[in-house]
Chain A
């Protein structure tokens, strides 16, 4: 009986370690709530969920890339570019574009940007770091160029286009549904599990008959799609398309994924946990906003969070390994 009780303990410990983003979310939420009791009110909690939605999609995009063993530095720029281009198109042609197409527009642009990345990294087998570094600058520059330096105010955009991002309920529910579908897709479909395989070892994937080039192309296309979705929700959240849209998403997208336990070596991690990571960032963000901390100081904060997250993840993985080795 002693043996079984330690086994139960080990199983529990493993469960916590594997889903550490959620307990961490609760702990940090409680600590920050004790500092600022207003955080305990239900409406504030809903607000934090809402705040995390656009970033949450970016975190999912980055998580898929990291699971696939690559990283996408262009996520923020793709978000910015697709939000800006879709905004400009809708400003001119909203009267002829049907409502459903207007919602799909930033997503389609995001997918095209992702395919562009995938073309170079997948089919031409160029280094994803360099390729996405280049496209990061490319899309960022294009965004500013096409905007002409002006922000698109929300009143020039169709109200229905802003709705998903600006309505609390719609935003939160869409986020939950989409992330659940994504998590299921990754673990329970062939294409999904092949992302893990490619992330685990590209050579082995190739030798076992998985089309490596196509998979890398697919990974970046997915990343582009989620960046496009993030663009839609950022636009609604801001009720405008500022020139700076998406510029500061890249680092939090990493931070969220890493806090969520996505391994930087690739092939490991789950979407549910990176959603937890995104929520954790949302709490911290909300806390910083309530304390009216300057954007500059917040950048410092994000830098520190990424660093702590990597350290923490390393520790978490070695702890998990030592338990698994004993079982």
Chain B
């Protein structure tokens, strides 16, 4: 009898054990409890005012904030470092962090949205319409002084506001797109360097010439930016400035009527791949992040970058004795619109699911405004929006960063439409994947570029039906 009782008990223990497995991770945070109260006050005096405001309200309470972001290895390293700094300054705050590649981040975010457990502090780019319900607006914290915006220009606050002027987050930095290229490969192959107003024809010819000279790729693949290049940017380059956009400004329909406007770009892309001057999709799948792009590995002379990525690859190539430079995106015609715009690279938001919204907002404020923090971050997410921070970074910028700052200034001088569309509609992901597949079908000769253009237009228009 006793044995049987023991068996039942053991089994019961096992069940409790398995049930307990899932929730283990959350407990670690409360350990740091006892010694904190004295130190947190000391830290409060040192840190800037918005932190101490947060500390006062929560000083005796242990808080665990969850945070997540996507990006490259460099970003993971420096972000983890500043999180350590913040925890030191605010001993009552513990930040549990997770980081992902871009695609994995959004997969995870979607599951968290579904289960109402979005990270307290999370990173979002222009692709957020579907997550907008999960964002807790920062306005109340700006009013109460928890979030300090005194040193951020209104224009830079607006880039992360929704149509009703609600502050959705603070921008991590200004950003724009460009073509990074290897200067020596161009000169060696006898190809003229890109100018401020070079065209897609110039780009195409350069890629072909470099391929013929070296045998490797002239231009790396644009991977997931293919859509931005061939649809958003390319369409914006037609006609007068601001005349056409891919989706209309309110995201309620298409911003152009003629599907054949997409055709030349698709044809060019397919021609480059067929000529061997650009990687096919198999080779493109080998590019998992900017650090192993073919430009960086020395197998291509050009690639598409978001300019905040440029300093990283500039440094890598510099170590190998190569020199990279940045060129604006090619245009359809020399005198036509550039199609370029300065946008917010991403922003940090406070989630609706957070139990510590104020503490989360305080961290975001520190993250964007603290010079010590940004000395570590070094504008890797884009050019900081805080004036003081920007000036201090500019003063100590490395060569690669200097090029980035100059480039953003240059793009800022381009004539730009009054209103730009930095958001993307829900459903764009599928359109992008199909669009990239149509290009491959053109490469294999299954469909013509004209058909690919029509199909892309139909897919995109179907979002709004």
Do chains A and B stick together as partners?
no
